[in-house]
Amino acid sequence: MPELPEVETIRSQLAERIPGRTIARAEVFDEKTVSPLEPVEFVEAVTGETILAVQRYGKYLELPFSSGKAMALHLRMTGRLHWRPGSADDGTRFLKLEFAFDDGSSLVFGDMRRFGRAWLLPENPAARREYWASKVGAEPLAETFTAKLLGKLLEGRRGPIKPTLLNQAIITGLGNMYVDEALFQAKIHPLRTAGSLTRPEITALHRAIRDRLRVAVAQGGASIDSYRDGLGERGSMQDYLKVHLHEGEACPRCQSVIVKTKVAQRGTYWCPSCQPEP
DNA sequence: ATTTTCCCCTGCCGGC
DNA sequence: TGCCGGCAGGGGAAAA
């Protein structure tokens, strides 16, 4: 499932390739992908636009156009966004959108489960900033994301730490997989009350979140399911996961058996020895 | 205000 | 072998 490292991998690959290109032709193959806009409205809005950059806000992508307009995309569970040097007709499954550039290359958006979306953003810069501010919280890889800030964000929160970390309005970009990995590395049980973490625990969690995300970006994301990068290739972070999907296996730190439970309706992997019950 | 539940969607997997 | 229920989890709306 695409989380911050997966979306960042796609962003950086696309950022090297599509800025400066103009959308000569756009096609919508599934109207749900651009809902509530009508496909014809969406196509009309993006056709002829030149892409300025590829930006990421949490798990969202923004493609600002030189006209001042901008498009946003979210892959949700199974979405894929691939750049192709030639025509898109190369067997991409579950094709939802196609953007054909004026130089013959193309950007295709595929999604097996129809959760992914593309939509248009406010043209006014202030309104657009306001829009993103309402969607996403602190960026965990930003320089401004310090242990002190993390402590402040968790302060007074009565919910368990895992769903708190999954709340995109607080910290943006973490999903089920990297929360499990970060909590394991920081030796914190997923059901600990968020506001109850001690100062050393907050420091450890801050370090763990950034470390796991950085390693995952360096590995090009985790292809545990349908994820592929911006060029259609697999990532390798799945080989470096320590607890996620490792139920019944030995903890790499203490050899205890990794367990899987349900926390906030999410499958949760943790080490009962390294991450003691609250 | 914050936290929890439900929903969407379809490939996959285990059980019978 | 084949059918089928349950699972997976992103975000957002709705409910608590």
Respond yes or no: is residue A85 known to be catalytic: no
User: Taking the model in full, what pTM does it have?
Assistant: 0.94
Answer for A110: CB within 7 Å of strand B.
no
Instruction: Determine contact, residues A183/A258, Cβ cutoff 8 Å.
Output: no
**Is the per-residue pLDDT at A93 higher than 70?**
no
Residue ranges of chain A that CATH labels 1.10.8.50: 147-270
What is the rounded average pLDDT of the residues A177-189?
94
Q: Give the C-alpha separation, A193 to A209, whole Å.
A: 17
At residue A91, the pLDDT reads 52
Task: Give A100 or A88, the one with higher predicted confidence.
Answer: A100
- List chain C nucleotides near protein: any atom < 7 Å from a Cβ: 7-12
Instruction: Look up A233 and say whether it is catalytic.
Output: no
Is A111:A94 a contact under the CB 8 Å cutoff?
Answer: yes
Q: In this structure, what token pair is assigned to residue A144? A: 């401004």
pLDDT of residue A89: 55
Q: What's the Å distance between residue A262 CA and nucleotide B15 C1'?
A: 21
**Cα angle: A225, vertex A231, A236; to 5 degrees:** 45
Q: What mean pLDDT comes out for the span A203-232?
A: 90
| Residue A216, both tokens | 């995952």
- How would CATH label the architecture of A4-135? Alpha-Beta Barrel (3.20)
Number of other residues whose CB lies within 10 A of the CB of residue A16:
11
Within 7 Å: CB of A114 and strand B?
A: yes
A210 in Cβ contact with A218 (< 8 Å): no
A74 close to A61: Cβ distance less than 8 angstroms: yes
Within chain A, all domains assigned CATH 3.20.190.10 are found at 4-135
What's A147-270's CATH class? mainly alpha
The mean pLDDT value of chain A amounts to 91
Q: Which element (helix H / strand E) includes A24? A: strand A23-28
Listed by range, residues with Cβ under 7 angstroms from strand C are A 1-3, 58-59, 74, 76-77, 113, 115, 135, 166, 168, 172, 175-177, 260, 262, 265-267
- Measured CA to CA, the distance from residue A173 to residue A111 in angstroms comes to 20
pLDDT tens column, A109-124:
988 888 899 999 999 9
Assign A234 a pLDDT band (cuts: 50, 70, 90): confident
Of the residues A187, A260, A266, A272, which is catalytic? A266
* CA nearest to A3, candidates A175, A247, A208, A248: A175
